[in-house]
Amino acid sequence: SGMRFTVAIDGPAAAGKGTISRAVAAHFGFGHLDTGLLYRAVGAKGGDPAAAAAGLEPADLERGDLRSAEAGQAASRVAALPEVRAALVEFQRRFARREGGAVLDGRDIGTVICPEAEVKLFVTASDEERARRRWLELAAKGGVQSEAEVLADLRERDRRDREREAAPLRPAPDALLLDTTELTIDAAVAKAIKAIELRQAQGRE
């Protein structure tokens, strides 16, 4: 029978969740779901957000502008709506239990989507470091925002994500906190891989 193993990776914007998730998925051969992309796609579709979430299709995730700051803001606004979140739960849970293992990254994976995940990481970094990293990323793609504007954007989104009623951003009680402020990508990924290997070894005992 196939192996089922779920890694939940949550944290604020531009902390390194996606980077760690992709590396962990490649290392272990797990599937990876960037759940932020679902909310970005719902926000970008326009119209009634609940209907957009209920009718979300794979092609909606291929739109070219989903990584922009505007798409991030639109995502965090629709993400506060309980009907939007509810419409996306089943798809995420099914992905989490897929054979061969799964990594999901977002805001509520360890708290709401997969409270039973075998490994939960809460990835953070200082506001300034996160803004610097996201600014570098956006600038490389021709973005025109200043670093200060990116910082303000991330802070506004984080505050909305933390203060909302529906599935607010917070660490699960049993999440491992991973502060990447002073870590290289390789060092952060190595810590995540260690945590997963430790849990896999426990499962075999």
Strands (E), 18-163: 31-34, 102-106, 119-124
Whether 30 and 125 have beta carbons less than 8 Å apart is answered as no
| CB 25, min distance to ligand CDP, A | 12
The annotated binding site for ATP is made up of: 11-19
Distance CA 168, CA 149 (A): 24
Rg (CA), the chain: 16
What residues line the site for ligand CDP (CB under 6 A)? 11, 13-19, 35-36, 39-40, 72, 75-76, 79, 106-109, 133-134, 137, 157, 161, 180, 183-185, 188
Report in angstroms how near the CB of residue 148 gets to ligand CDP at its nearest: 17
CA max distance for the chain = 53
Annotated binding site: 11-19
What length is written for the chain?
205
Residue located via tokens 């969740």: 17
What minimum distance in Å lies between the beta carbon of 133 and ligand CDP?
Answer: 3
**By C-beta, is 2 or 64 nearer to ligand CDP?**
64
Q: Which is nearer to ligand CDP, 6 or 76 (CB)?
A: 76
| CB nearer to ligand CDP: pick between 48 and 137 | 137
CA distance 115 to 121: 12
Residue 120 vs 157, nearer CB to ligand CDP: 157
Minimum distance, C-beta of residue 166 to ligand CDP, in the bound complex (Å): 8
Toward ligand CDP, which CB reaches closer, 187 or 198? Answer: 187
Smallest distance from ligand CDP to CB 37, Å: 6
Torsion sign (Cα): 125, 128, 131, 133: negative
Coil vs helix vs strand at 46 = coil
∠ at Cα 161 (114, 199), nearest 5°? Answer: 30
SS3 assignment, position 193: helix
